[in-house]
């Protein structure tokens, strides 16, 4: 009489495992991620106050913009020579529209930035770094709960869709790990301030060619706009990628940060071209403000900065969502929650 075989320890047989379990951890294809990305990003943004978050980030930019420009101009003048930078400022004036006085304002800013003293430059580092704190707060406001927006579930044995960074990773951060989140965010912006003179030189360096192209009719203008669009795209995408890598609430890989930063930078560059088109319009910008062109200019600048921040935050949300979708419904261990 045959003896029935005992089931293996654990009380289940290999055939009792659900057939789909073996494929649950497989990552979705890129095409599937691309199809699901718009809806998942909308779900994430629907749970966030995107306009209010962008307004808060614009406040930090208002504090940091002038000090950052002064630092970049003063260091650039010291590096390549003040006469060279002044000449590039004149070229920028020739390349910018004159309807609202943006060309004259840009040239004056260049001249003033070259005249500030080094103690002023050092003191400007503190307000300039405040933008890093604003990025941290805005990114954290969007990123929390990104796993739920993608439908990600915690992996077996975990309690969160995005596992926290381990103690070893925290120790490897060294000094930054010992700083508070605010100071850590400001410190991560310092590399951007360090390369800002180089990025500014790239923008100013192309203005002589742009001024020449814009003087050659429709064809030259179209070529100049295309060239300016691509230069601005590269210049803004590199800092964006860095902030995605260092300030996002979840630790993104360099690949995800670069792809997300450059995709977002393409839209930001397009909006910046829209700003140039706006200042070329022959309208009285101070009319709604009692005829004060200064007040109208400040309000318009803040409005455009707010729109740019909306684009940046949507780009970050799409990047976080794409990473979550790529990991699949079981989550993953390649990204950890960053302390905020």
pLDDT in tens, 181-236: 778 889 999 999 999 999 999 999 999 999 999 999 899 999 999 999 999 999 99
The rounded distance, in Å, linking the Cα atoms of 37 and 256 is 14
165 pLDDT exceeds 70?
A: no
280-323 pLDDT, tens digit each: 998 889 888 988 988 999 999 999 999 999 999 999 999 999 99
Tokens standing for residue 39? 């809806």
Dump pLDDT digits (tens) for 125-145.
999 999 999 999 999 998 765
Sign (positive/negative) of CA torsion 176, 315, 63, 234? positive
Whole-number Å distance between alpha carbons of 48 and 209: 43
H-helix segments, 28-117: 30-46, 50-80, 82-95, 102-115
**Predicted structure pTM score:** 0.81
Q: At what angle do helices 50-80 and 181-205 cross, to 10 degrees?
A: 60
Percent of the chain's residues with pLDDT above 70: 78
Q: What Cα–Cα distance (Å) separates residue 86 from each residue in 56, 81, 117, 195, 302?
A: 34, 9, 17, 20, 27
- Residue 123's pLDDT band (cuts 50, 70, 90): very high
Inform me whether the pLDDT recorded for 24 exceeds 70: no
Q: How far is CA 165 from CA 37, 87, 132, 162, 339, in A?
A: 26, 49, 21, 9, 8
pLDDT the model gives residue 326: 82
Q: Is the pLDDT of residue 161 over 90?
A: no
CA distance 286 to 185: 37
What's residue 333's pLDDT? 39
Locate 224 and state its tokens. 């100049």
> Chain-wide mean pLDDT for the chain?
83
């Amino acid at each position: 009489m045959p003896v029935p075989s005992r089931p293996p320890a654990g009380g289940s047989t290999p055939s009792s495992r659900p057939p789909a379990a073996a494929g649950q951890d497989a990552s979705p294809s890129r095409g599937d991620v691309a199809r699901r990305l718009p809806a998942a990003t909308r779900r994430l943004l629907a749970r966030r106050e995107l306009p209010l978050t962008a307004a808060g980030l614009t406040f930090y930019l208002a504090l940091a913009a002038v000090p950052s420009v002064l630092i970049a101009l003063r260091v650039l003048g010291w590096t390549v020579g003040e006469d060279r930078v002044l000449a590039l400022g004149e070229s920028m004036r020739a390349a910018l529209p004159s309807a609202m006085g943006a060309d004259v304002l840009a040239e004056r800013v260049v001249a003033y930035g070259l005249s500030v003293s080094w103690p002023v430059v050092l003191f400007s580092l503190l307000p300039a770094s405040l933008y890093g704190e604003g990025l941290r707060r805005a990114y954290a406001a969007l990123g929390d709960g990104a796993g739920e927006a993608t439908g990600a579930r915690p992996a077996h044995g975990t309690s969160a869709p995005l596992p926290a960074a381990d103690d070893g990773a925290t120790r490897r951060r060294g000094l930054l790990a010992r700083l508070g989140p605010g100071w850590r965010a400001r410190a991560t912006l310092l590399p951007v301030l360090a390369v800002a003179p180089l990025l500014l030189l790239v923008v100013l360096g192309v203005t002589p060619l742009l001024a020449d192209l814009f003087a050659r009719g429709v064809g030259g203008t179209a070529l100049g706009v295309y060239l300016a669009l691509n230069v601005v795209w590269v210049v803004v995408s590199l800092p964006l990628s860095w902030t995605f890598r260092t300030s996002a609430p979840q630790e993104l890989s360099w690949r995800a940060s670069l792809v997300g930063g450059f995709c977002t930078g393409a839209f930001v560059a397009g909006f910046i071209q829209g700003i140039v088109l706006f200042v070329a319009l022959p309208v009285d910008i101070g009319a709604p403000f009692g005829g004060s062109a200064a007040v109208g200019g400040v309000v318009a600048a803040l409005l455009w900065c707010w729109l740019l921040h909306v684009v940046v935050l949507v780009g970050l949300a799409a990047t976080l969502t794409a990473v979550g979708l790529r990991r699949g419904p079981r989550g993953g261990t390649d990204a950890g929650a960053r302390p905020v």
